[in-house]
Structures are given as C-alpha cells and as structure tokens.
Amino acid sequence: MKTDFDVLIVGGGPVGLLLACLLKQKGLSFRVLEKRARPKSHSAAIGITPPSLQILNKLGLTDSFISAGIKVSDCYVHGQSGLLGCMAFRQIPDQHPFVLALPQVTTMALLQKHLGAEFIETGCEVHEVQSLTDNCIVRVEKREWTAKYVVACDGWRSRVREGIGMRAPSHTYDSHFIMGDFIDRSGFGDAAHLFFTATGAVESFPLPGGQRRWVVQTDKALGDSPAGRISELIHQRTSIQVPVEDQINESAFTPRRFNCDRYYDGRIILCGDAAHGMSPIGGQGMNTGFADAEFLAEILTHSDPASLLPAYNRFRQKAAKAAIVRAEWGMWFGTRRGRPQSALRDHLLRFLLSRDSITKRLGSFYAMLTIPFNTLDRVPLSSLRTHIV
C-alpha cells in the first residue's frame, strides 16, 4: 500500500532526532512531528556515554560532539569524612575513555543541524495515531498523514502511548532534587565531583562554556525554591561557595521509573522516554533511548520490520530494565542520610575506590559499558535471525 512516508516520528527530542538522522542515512522517507515551535532552552541530560558515542560515530558526528563538549575522565567521590577516592573513566576499555559532558540543548542542536530543517515539522502536535493492517494514520488538527510505521518518541508523558492504551505503571521515588547551572569558579576543571554527606547528596559536573551543573538533594519536592537555595545547600554540605549571582538557571525534579509492558502495538512503536523512565541520577535515560533508536533504525530498513519487533521489544526492554535498576541502586546508595549510614557508606566507598581493579569496573559500570545490548553490535545475531525466519 502506498503511504506518505515509510516512518513518522512523533517527538523531536534527542531520541527522535537521532532516529531521524539514522533513517535519513539509510534512505528511508520520514518526517519528525514536533509540537514545540522552538527548542527548550533548559537542559536535562548532560552525560553522553561511550556506547552513545559509538552510535554517533555511524553518522560521523562523534568528533563534532567531542569538540563541543567536555571529556570527563575523572569523577572524585567525597563522603562525610572527606575525599574517598576517584573513579577514573580514563581506565575503561573503550576507544572513548570518558563520559562526554554536553547540555541536551546542544546535543539536539547538533542532531538537528545534521538532519536538516526540511525533515522536521515544528509546532505540530499529534493528536491521534491509528495502526491499521497495512499502514498507520497520524492526525494533527486538520491534517493527516500515512506511514508504514509510527515511532513514538514523545517523552515520558507520551500521548501516543496513552492513545493506544499501552500500560506503563510507574513508581515515584521518595527522593527530590534541585539543579542549577552556574558560572564555574570551583577550580574543579574537567572533573566531576560527588559529595555523599550525612545531610544529603551534592553532585557537580563540568559543562562547556565555563559553566558547571550542581545537583542537590532536597527534603521534599520544591516547585519554586527560594533564590539561593542551591548555593546555600552546597555550602552547608561541602563548605564550597557557589555565588548565587553566578546562577544561570534552576529546576527541580523528583525521579520516577517505569518500563512499558510492551514496546510496540501493531505498527506503532515506542522509543526512548516514551517506552521507559529512570532516575536521572546516573545519567542514563537519553543514552538508553539512543540505543533504542539505533536498534529501531536497523530493523525499520529490513524487508519485514514487523517480524523483528519482538526482538526489539525483548532486547531493549531488558537493557532498559538494567539501566533502571542501576539508576535506582545508585540513587538509593548516594542519598541515604544520617551519621551511621554515612559512616558506613564512607567505609565501603573508601575500600572500593582504593582498589584499581574495582575502580576500573566501576568506571565501565557508570559509563554504561556493562549494560546488556548497549549497542547493536552486542545483540546476538543468532537471536535476531530466529525472529527473521
């Protein structure tokens, strides 16, 4: 059956844009439908892990990403009793032995530039998607398009997911954070610093352009926090002065997790945050979505993509589950408060971080090298073939 496009992508966030770039490279006809008229100015994700850099390499984009970002090779861990050790990404067994710090807005801008504006319909909010036997129909106010497949990259509140009645039972954690980007006068250079204290966690990451992100645990969810709250909490917990005049932006978040029962229904496929959600503490959500996009781009070019959707479901759901559990565990460990818990954590971390073999493994763990099927190269081809026949 003739359709307007091979694929329609709902949502032009980082995952939708990456998928679009990969489909363009493979010669498929597609459009990205994005409800925003202008990109968001505030960044969520800042950490791009080595498996994602490998995926970007397929598009020849790794160098431009690396030159726009900051290579974080060292992550210093502090506890109540002072510096506990350093987790060195420089030792990890990968051609990119670092986590790249790059604001999500820049990631999106680079992907958009590579893709070309003609492939994105902005100010285009999708109201309804219907999956029929041979095609899908996408409705946007008074217009409609047809495509062989629709990929929902419309984020954790996914309207497409809701529309097809896909279950995504979620759990909201009892941990809350505020974060802000500041002009960086910390003297920390390109290193990340984590402070796990008895009164709450503080995390600090370098950003390009002489900025630094500070993420601070709070007692409760803060909608509008009083000006200077982040600086005040940083100072109370770490004695570091981060002047409020240097603050550029601020936002609050309460992490949650979910992993959809199924990642597709008929010809409608979920990808990125539309399919799964995890605590941002650990920085894996976007990276997990990038690996979904890589997998999907591959199977959408197959002569019979529908036969491979069960494999997409199986491998990507497993990978997301691993990332969700790790993010949850990492957040739980870093946010325990109180003197006894803090002393115990300090002991354990000091022990672990004093052993080279363990810091190397921790580096691989946090760089997502040990997430199952984190790139398509690591999906057993024999399993894929069983779905092809």
Ligand X SMILES: Cc1cc2nc3c(=O)[nH]c(=O)nc-3n(C[C@H](O)[C@H](O)[C@H](O)COP(=O)(O)OP(=O)(O)OC[C@H]3O[C@@H](n4cnc5c(N)ncnc54)[C@H](O)[C@@H]3O)c2cc1C
**Which chain residues interact with ligand X by CB under 6 A?**
10-16, 33-36, 44-47, 104, 125-126, 153-155, 159, 179, 253, 272-273, 280, 283-287, 289
Whether the CB-CB separation of 269 and 164 falls below 8 Å is answered with no
Q: Is 210 left (phi over 0), alpha (psi -120 to 50) or beta?
A: left
Which H or E run includes 139? strand 136-140
Q: Which is nearer to ligand X, 368 or 384 (CB)?
A: 368
Judged by CB, which is closer to ligand X: 134, or 162?
A: 162
Concatenate the DSSP letters of all residues of 190-251 into one string.
Answer: T-EEEEEETTEEEEEEEETTTEEEEEEEESS--SSPPTTHHHHHHHHHH-----GGGB---E
Q: Which is nearer to ligand X, 16 or 305 (CB)?
A: 16
Q: How far apart are CA 345 and CA 78, in angstroms?
A: 10
d(CA 43, CA 249): 10
Smallest separation, CB 194 to ligand X (Å):
14
Cα R_g (the chain), whole angstroms: 21
Element (H, E) at 265: strand 264-265
CB of 153 or CB of 242, closer to ligand X: 153
Bridge-based pairing state of the strands 143-152 and 268-270: parallel
Of 213 and 267, which has the nearer Cβ to ligand X? 213
Which lies closer to ligand X via its Cβ, residue 153 or residue 319? Answer: 153
Helix (H) or strand (E) holding 107, with range, is: helix 104-115
Q: Which is nearer to ligand X, 79 or 180 (CB)?
A: 180
Write down the least CB distance from residue 231 to ligand X, Å. 18
**Structure-token match 């509140």, residue found:** 157
Least gap, CB of 329 to ligand X (angstroms): 17
Q: How far is the CB of 253 from ligand X (least distance, A)?
A: 5
Tell me the closest approach of the beta carbon of residue 57 to ligand X, in angstroms. Answer: 17
Contact present, 30 and 9 (Cβ < 8 Å): yes
CB 49 to ligand X: min, Å: 7
- How many Cα atoms sit within 13 Å of 33 on the Cβ side? 25
Nearest to 335 by CA among 212, 213, 202: 202
**CB neighbours (10 Å) of residue 75?**
21
> What is the nearest approach in angstroms of ligand X to the Cβ of residue 7?
15
Question: What tokens appear for 174 in the block?
Answer: 């009892």
Closest contact distance (angstroms) between CB of 75 and ligand X is 13
Q: Which one, 14 or 206, has the nearer CB to ligand X?
A: 14
Q: Which lies closer to ligand X via its Cβ, residue 55 or residue 384?
A: 55
CB of 340 to ligand X, least distance (A): 30
> Which residue minimizes CB distance to ligand X?
13
Q: How far apart are CA 123 and CA 121, in angstroms?
A: 7
Pairing of strands 30-33, 5-10: parallel
Using CA atoms, how far apart are residues 16 and 328, in angstroms rounded to an integer? 25
